[in-house]
């Protein structure tokens, strides 16, 4: 029998799914993340799972891994000591950025300080023009001086970003070769390799981030790889990228370090898509609500929306990432009454410490979680793990003191008010995310996960006229499952920069050939056979003078005229008009290669047969009064069961609240709530 493991390290828990390839049977392990040395929990969880399944480490044929090492290194500024090398005259590239300030009115707000201080930015004389012509030769002697200064300053890694290097990387490549000879221990990342497209600040920012992350990622991945080997695992770990594809550790610790920033959340989206599509839904808004954040993602026509322009902790990063938007609302958001007597929820959060009042960890200010406890949506006495047992009295006291009494209303009214206000904020965010992308939320279903997503999903959907809510079988394990479903993926970008009227279809062939060569070379390095790789090409075009490109598919056997027609139509669809009489500029060529995931099977639900699914009854606040409702254990709900609300469904890591709607369990164990089935 062959087995695979998907293992995702999150901020709090390390989740692992052991999957039997032929049958779809699975074993899940959830263990606290070992902060500071994540590898320990990963290896422990692996051993536990192998033990439960009674199999040998050598039975594993695949090990896919999602990591937060990159995210943590950025959050805690614990990347390597990084320098930046730029064209002479442009030393302040990172400080200036796009010259915008952080907040319109708050004079004290600042953009984050660059990852490279000004004292470690070095300038070299050289110049390449936008046409790729060398205008001024590279000052090689200058590189020797700079190398000496970097050595003296203890620099571990350097990013090289020269003007117009996307058009001709010769100087960047020469610098990398020179530095390899001068400082063999120095890690070098050149911008033409990380992101070959114009826009010097964003390219520099991305390259700096890559350089900054290479050493810590490499150290972590080498350690985990040898630990797994030592415990007998022969399958080489594959690392999740922010774009939903996997890559081997050598690539992740090198030229693609910056591709791991959203490793875990990307895996979650793949898992979410798996269950959504299996349930018959191709257009889905995903909501992942935890203690401190609310993440929104989009699946359109079965494809997870990807963006190429993002920022991590305020630093622009231009590599493909799933388009996940984080809004600042979570279970820990604090409620208060302001000077004018109006209720406010957030932006302050009680976080994990001290946490909501109901946790009994010292928190005394009321949170969204406390409101859920007061209204019976989270039951008094429920154990949440980590020694936390929900205490309704503490929640009541906090809400009475800080909201109900100041506003002159009952505790239940206050709790309901807190939920309505935080829901209004989340509805605003969900509308923003969809509408800004030209989509109408009413055309989508919602998939809810995270500890608090299913608590709020039904109320949110009512406000957005969304008809269906899907809760996947293991909302807390979607990332681990997604890792098992991830394909191999590699992206390349090339600069075209020509007027479409001057271009013949054949002109692009040479460039496309060069890009496919690079993709296939990476595939070979990653151990993926060329025959398994599917290449997709897109052209980035715009009307001359516009600031943004639209990407349209371009097939090698198609014509440029077809692509142009697609561009005009896409422009009309996105912006309401086209201008077929205007010159079109073909700016960029984008290519990605994918190789299929080892499996597209989803884990089967684990149902305890025969047991009564109603494990308790509870007092739930419904329509302005408490009602006695059944509490179901998710693990006892068999496929094709249909239930009618109001009711509560509990499982280890989340709680679903259903009002007057009905719920059906599908064949994979997903709960499907239909909003229009109002009793």
Partner 1 sequence: MRKDAILPEIARHGLQAVAEEMGAALIRTAYSVNIRDRRDFSCGVFDRKARLIAQAEHIPVHLGLLAGVVERVIADLGADLPANGMIVTNNPWLTGSHLPDVVVMAPVDHEGVRLGYVANMAHQVDLGGIAPGSLALGTVDVMQEGLRVPPMPLLRDGEVDGAALKLFQLGSRTPDVVAGDLLAQAAANATGARRLADLVRRIGHEAFEGAVEALLENTALRLGQRFEALEGKSAEFADVLELRQGDADVDLPIRVRLSVSNGQLLADFAGTAPQVRAPVNAPRFLTASCVLYAVKTMLDPALPSNAGLMRKITVDTPPASIVDAQAPVPVALCTSITSQRICDALLGAFNKLLPDGQVAASTGSMNALIVGGLNPALGQAYSYVETYGGGQGAMAGHDGADGVHCHMTNTANSPVEFIEREYPMTVLHYGLVASSGGDGEFRGGHGLSRGIRLDADATVTVHLDRTRHRPWGVNGGGEAQGSRVVVEDAAGRRELPGKSTTDLPRGTVLVVETAGGGGWGSPVRRRPAARDDDVRNQLQPFMSAAAE
- In the complex, the residues that contact partner 1 under the rule CB under 8 A are 88-93, 95-96, 98-101, 103-108, 110-111, 117-119, 129-130, 163-164, 166, 198-202, 337-345, 407-409, 413, 416-417, 420-421, 424-425, 427-428, 431-432, 435-436, 438, 463, 497, 545-548, 574-577, 579
Give the residue among 112, 20, 11, 29 at the shortest CA–CA distance from 68.
11
Q: Order of strands across the sheet with 121-124? A: 121-124, 82-87, 157-161, 187-190
- Give the three-state DSSP class for 583: coil
Q: Tell me, what DSSP letter sits at residue 367?
A: B
| Look-up of token digits 């839904």 | 281
Nearer to partner 1, 432 or 639 (CB): 432
CB of 343 to partner 1, least distance (A): 5
CB 170 within 8 A of CB 132: no
Half-sphere exposure of 658 (CA within 13 A, CB side): 31
DSSP 629-654: EEEEEGGG--TT-EEESSEEEEETTE
Query: How do 647-651 and 625-633 pair as beta strands?
Result: parallel
CB of 545 to partner 1, least distance (A): 7
Q: Tell me, what DSSP letter sits at residue 599?
A: -
CB of 424 to partner 1, least distance (A): 4
Nearer to partner 1, 96 or 532 (CB): 96
| Look-up of token digits 């597209």 | 600
CB of 130 to partner 1, least distance (A): 5
Token pair in block for residue 170? 């010769």
Nearer to partner 1, 138 or 240 (CB): 138
Q: Where are the alpha helices (DSSP H) in 188-311?
A: 191-194, 200-230, 249-252, 263-278
Nearer to partner 1, 342 or 611 (CB): 342
Q: How far is CA 141 from CA 145, 148, 182, 183, 188, in A?
A: 7, 11, 12, 15, 18
Nearer to partner 1, 205 or 662 (CB): 205
CB 262 within 8 A of CB 326: no
Task: Please name the residues in contact with 452: beta carbons below 8 A apart, sequence gap of 6 or more.
Answer: 289, 290, 291, 330, 331, 368, 369, 372, 654
CB of 460 to partner 1, least distance (A): 12
CB of 109 to partner 1, least distance (A): 8
Nearer to partner 1, 91 or 674 (CB): 91
Whether the ω angle into residue 421 lies within 30 degrees of 0, i.e. cis, is: no
Torsion sign (Cα): 236, 24, 41, 353: positive
Nearer to partner 1, 37 or 110 (CB): 110
CB of 291 to partner 1, least distance (A): 21
CB of 128 to partner 1, least distance (A): 10
Query: How do 157-161 and 187-190 pair as beta strands?
Result: parallel
CB of 358 to partner 1, least distance (A): 21
Task: Work out the widest C-alpha separation in the chain, in whole angstroms.
Answer: 81
144-197-558 Cα angle (round to 5): 140
Q: How far apart are alpha carbons 46 and 67 in whole angstroms?
A: 15
Q: How far apart are alpha carbons 449 and 400 in whole angstroms?
A: 30
Nearer to partner 1, 302 or 438 (CB): 438
CB of 126 to partner 1, least distance (A): 14
Burial of 1 (0-12, 13-18, 19+ CB in 10 A): exposed
Token pair in block for residue 236? 């080489």
Token pair in block for residue 656? 């679903």
Nearer to partner 1, 78 or 101 (CB): 101
DSSP 173-223: HHHHHHHHHH-TT-EEEEHHHH--SS-HHHHHHHHHHHHHHHHHHHHHHHH
CB of 341 to partner 1, least distance (A): 6
CB of 396 to partner 1, least distance (A): 18
CB of 116 to partner 1, least distance (A): 11
Nearer to partner 1, 163 or 479 (CB): 163
Q: Tell me, what DSSP letter sits at residue 387?
A: T
Cβ burial 310-338 (10 Å sphere, 16+ → b, else e): bebeebbbbbbbbbbbebebbbbbbbbbe
Task: Please name the residues in contact with 31: beta carbons below 8 A apart, sequence gap of 6 or more.
Answer: 13, 14, 16, 41, 44, 45, 48
Nearer to partner 1, 264 or 429 (CB): 429
Nearer to partner 1, 73 or 588 (CB): 588
CB of 57 to partner 1, least distance (A): 51
Q: Tell me, what DSSP letter sits at residue 411?
A: H
Nearer to partner 1, 408 or 558 (CB): 408
Residue 144: other Cβ atoms inside 10 A: 13
CB of 655 to partner 1, least distance (A): 24
Nearer to partner 1, 136 or 313 (CB): 136
Residue 475: other Cβ atoms inside 10 A: 27
Nearer to partner 1, 92 or 517 (CB): 92
Nearer to partner 1, 41 or 421 (CB): 421
Nearer to partner 1, 164 or 218 (CB): 164
CB of 64 to partner 1, least distance (A): 37
Strands (E), 379-487: 383-385, 388-389, 445-449, 468-471
Point out which residues pair with 326 in neighbouring strands: 295
| Look-up of token digits 């999740």 | 240
Token pair in block for residue 168? 């001709």
Q: How far apart are alpha carbons 289 and 423 in whole angstroms?
A: 12
- Give the three-state DSSP class for 442: helix
CB of 170 to partner 1, least distance (A): 17
């Amino acid at each position: 029998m062959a087995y695979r493991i998907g293992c995702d390290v999150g901020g709090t828990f390390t989740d692992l799914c052991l999957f039997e390839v032929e049958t779809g049977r699975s074993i899940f392990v959830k263990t606290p993340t070992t902060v500071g040395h994540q590898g320990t929990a990963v290896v422990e969880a692996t051993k536990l799972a192998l033990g439960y399944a009674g199999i040998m480490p050598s039975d594993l044929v695949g090990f896919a891994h999602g990591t937060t090492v990159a995210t943590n290194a950025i959050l805690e500024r614990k990347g390597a000591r990084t320098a930046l090398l730029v064209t002479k005259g442009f030393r302040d590239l990172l400080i200036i950025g796009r010259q915008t300030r952080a907040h319109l009115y708050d004079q004290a707000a600042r953009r984050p300080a660059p990852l490279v201080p000004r004292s470690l930015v070095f300038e070299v004389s050289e110049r390449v023009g936008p046409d790729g012509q060398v205008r001024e030769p590279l000052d090689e002697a200058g590189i020797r001086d700079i190398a000496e200064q970097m050595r003296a300053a203890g620099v571990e890694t350097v990013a090289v970003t020269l003007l117009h290097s996307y058009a001709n990387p010769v100087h960047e490549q020469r610098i990398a070769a020179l530095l390899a000879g001068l400082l063999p221990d120095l890690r070098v990342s050149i911008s033409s390799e990380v992101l070959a497209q114009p826009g010097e600040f964003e390219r520099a920012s991305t390259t700096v981030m890559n350089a900054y992350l290479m050493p810590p990622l490499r150290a972590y991945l080498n350690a985990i790889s040898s630990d797994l080997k030592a415990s007998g695992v022969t399958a080489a770990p594959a690392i999740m990228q922010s774009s939903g594809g996997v890559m081997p550790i050598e690539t992740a610790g090198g030229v693609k370090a910056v591709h791991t920033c959203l490793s875990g959340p990307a895996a979650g989206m793949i898992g979410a898509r798996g269950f959504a599509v299996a349930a018959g839904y191709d257009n889905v808004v995903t909501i992942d609500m935890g203690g401190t954040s609310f993440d929104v993602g989009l699946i359109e026509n079965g494809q997870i929306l990807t963006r190429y322009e993002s920022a991590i902790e305020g630093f622009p990063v231009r590599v493909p990432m799933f388009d996940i938007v984080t809004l600042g609302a979570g279970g820990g958001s604090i409620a208060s009454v302001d000077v004018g007597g109006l209720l406010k929820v957030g932006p302050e959060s009680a976080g994990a410490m001290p946490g909501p009042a109901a946790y009994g960890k010292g928190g005394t200010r009321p949170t969204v979680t406390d409101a859920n406890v007061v209204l019976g949506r989270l039951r008094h006495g429920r154990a949440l793990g980590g020694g936390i047992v929900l205490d309704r009295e503490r929640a009541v006291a906090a809400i009475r003191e800080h909201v109900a009494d100041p506003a002159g209303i009952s505790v239940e009214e206050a709790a309901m008010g807190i939920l309505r206000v935080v829901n209004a904020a989340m509805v605003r965010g969900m509308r923003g995310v969809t509408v800004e992308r030209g989509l109408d939320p009413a055309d989508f279903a919602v998939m809810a996960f995270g500890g608090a997503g299913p608590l709020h999903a039904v109320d949110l959907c009512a406000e957005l006229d969304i008809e269906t809510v899907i809760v996947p079988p293991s909302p807390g394990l979607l990332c681990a499952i997604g890792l098992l479903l991830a394909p191999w993926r590699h992206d390349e970008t090339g600069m075209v920069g020509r007027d479409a009227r001057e271009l013949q279809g054949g002109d692009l062939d040479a460039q496309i050939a060069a890009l496919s060569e690079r993709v296939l070379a990476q595939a070979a390095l990653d151990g993926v056979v060329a025959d398994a790789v599917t290449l997709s090409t897109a052209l980035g075009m715009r009307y001359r003078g516009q600031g943004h490109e639209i990407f349209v598919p371009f097939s090698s056997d198609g014509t440029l005229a077809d692509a142009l027609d697609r561009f005009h139509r896409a422009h009309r669809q996105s912006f309401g008009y086209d201008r077929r009489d205007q010159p079109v500029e073909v700016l960029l060529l984008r290519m990605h290669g994918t190789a299929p995931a080892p499996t597209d099977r989803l884990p089967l639900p684990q149902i305890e047969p025969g047991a009564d699914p109603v494990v308790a009854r509870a007092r739930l606040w419904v329509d302005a009064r408490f009602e006695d409702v059944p509490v179901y254990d998710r693990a006892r709900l068999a496929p094709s069961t249909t239930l009618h609300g109001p009711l509560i469904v509990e499982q280890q890591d989340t709680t679903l609240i259903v009002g007057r709607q009905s719920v059906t369990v599908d064949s994979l164990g997903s709960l499907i709530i239909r909003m229009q089935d109002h009793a």
